[in-house]
Amino acid sequence: MGKEEFKSVFTTELFNEIHTMIEEKILSMENTILLLKHISYYSNIKRIWIEGFEGTSLCKRFEEMIVEEEKKKEEKNEKLLADLCECYISLSDDYIPKLLCICVSCILKANLKKEGNEEAQKEVEMALLSLSNLDVLYFVEQKQYLNEIKEIFKYRQEHHNLTRLAYQSAWEFLIYRLFFENSLEEDFVNELHFGREAARELEELTRNVDWKKKEEEMNKEEAKEEFALVRWLQTCESCFLRCSLWNEEFVGLINSIVQVFRSAKGNYKEISYQCIFLLKETSIRTGVEIKDLMKSGAADAVLEGIQQPTLEDEMINQFLEFFMNLSKRLKREMDEAMDEAKRKIIRRRVFDKLEEEGYEDTIISFHEIFDFLKGIRYHKLSFDIYYYLVNV
């Protein structure tokens, strides 16, 4: 089913009709939830936003059921609550803040340390995929998701209980939170090791992809390695846009992106372009040192890519921007080194003058500087004025 056809089927009228069928006992709530979970899974996979759910009688019924189930002290049906929450956040686009807080916490708790058969893993995958599209969560406090998402990451890293798509979706969820919670960066980079984990996922997927297959065959089945690879590259892009912290593990991640590019450049234009775009983005980031780009092989990969005989303008633009960014940064570093050398010479002359004329005259001259600072001409002072003041 194509995007437009999908959107034309799942409309406000259809969701209201489903609610009528529930009221008339034609459709059970269990089957309704199963249907909606599959609808939301497909829409999330294909990046199709369903616009007809909000305000329907079915949506209102789900909102009421979530509140009622959450209020229960005893005999609370945790699975029902998690299913309701999953459907609500997957199909809605205009959330009630209180309900969204309940849903995020409930879904994460329901999927902690889950193992089992393929069916159970698929359920976890669907749940985490629904969370991965929540880009607006600034009103949800860290205590409602942080400990649970950390446990999901750490348990997976130890037991490998999540599918690749589920694991990627969990990372995507946390990356969106970085935009509003800068304090998460330390946990994200150094405790949860995103750079290391993303590099490993890309390396394993690169080995498993059939690079001889034609590009148009790539997304025919959602579970294929090519699909997971594309989503992981998108997750890396989200990280580079939102996370300013950097460590050595990210050098390994850039190297993994380079390996993906080298494998894809002959046959997969979409993946090739995405890799080069990511390398270009790293060349902009001030936290990434030029030596990291050289050590990771990024510069070599761009040189290899630009020599290909058949390149589209958009790809060429990314190649050129990479080198332009490197050139600008190298020039800036050279200028800063030269400025520092000049400042050292001037400071040496000032210190020599102090020794020659004596400290008393210098202290008296400071009064003139202070008067100047109080005047309207303070904006003419160099930002480096503190280099020339001496504590006596």
Q: List pLDDT tens digits, range 150-195.
A: 999 999 999 889 999 999 999 999 998 888 788 899 999 999 999 9
**Residue at 350 is within a domain:** yes
**Residue at 381 is within a domain:** yes
Closest CA to 102 of 54, 64, 144, 152: 144
Spatial separation of the C-alpha atoms in residues 131 and 213, rounded to whole Å: 32
CA distances (Å), 107 to each of 80, 274, 315, in order? Answer: 11, 31, 40
E strands present in 284-372: none
The total of structural domains in the chain comes to 1
Closest CA to 265 of 321, 225, 206: 206
Which structure tokens are listed for 225? Answer: 């390695």
CB count in 10 Å sphere of residue 1: 11
Instruction: State pTM to two decimals.
Output: 0.81
Spatial separation of the C-alpha atoms in residues 198 and 194, rounded to whole Å: 6
* Angle CA 384–390–392, to nearest 5: 160
**Residue at 120 is within a domain:** no
**Residue at 378 is within a domain:** yes
**Residue at 360 is within a domain:** yes
CB count in 10 Å sphere of residue 237: 15
Contacts of 236 (CB under 8 A, 6+ apart): 198, 202, 253, 257, 278
pLDDT tens digit sequence for 320-360: 888 888 888 887 777 776 667 776 776 676 566 556 655 55
**Residue at 262 is within a domain:** no
Range of the domain at 368: 335-388
**Residue at 369 is within a domain:** yes
Tell me the pLDDT of the chain (392 aa) as tens digits.
Answer: 677 787 788 889 999 999 999 999 999 999 999 999 999 998 888 888 888 898 899 999 999 999 999 998 888 899 999 999 999 999 988 888 889 889 999 999 999 887 778 888 999 999 999 998 887 666 677 888 899 999 999 999 998 899 999 999 999 999 988 887 888 999 999 999 999 999 999 999 999 988 887 766 665 544 478 888 999 999 999 999 888 899 999 999 999 999 999 999 878 888 999 999 999 999 888 778 888 888 999 988 988 888 776 667 778 888 888 888 888 888 777 777 666 777 677 667 656 655 665 555 555 555 555 555 555 444 444 445 444 444 43
CB count in 10 Å sphere of residue 325: 18
Q: What DSSP letter does each residue of 85-152 carry, written as one string?
A: HHHHHHH-SS--HHHHHHHHHHHHHHTTT---SHHHHHHHHHHHHHHHT----TTS-GGGTHHHHHHH
C-alpha neighbours within 13 Å on the C-beta side of residue 249? 14
**Residue at 382 is within a domain:** yes
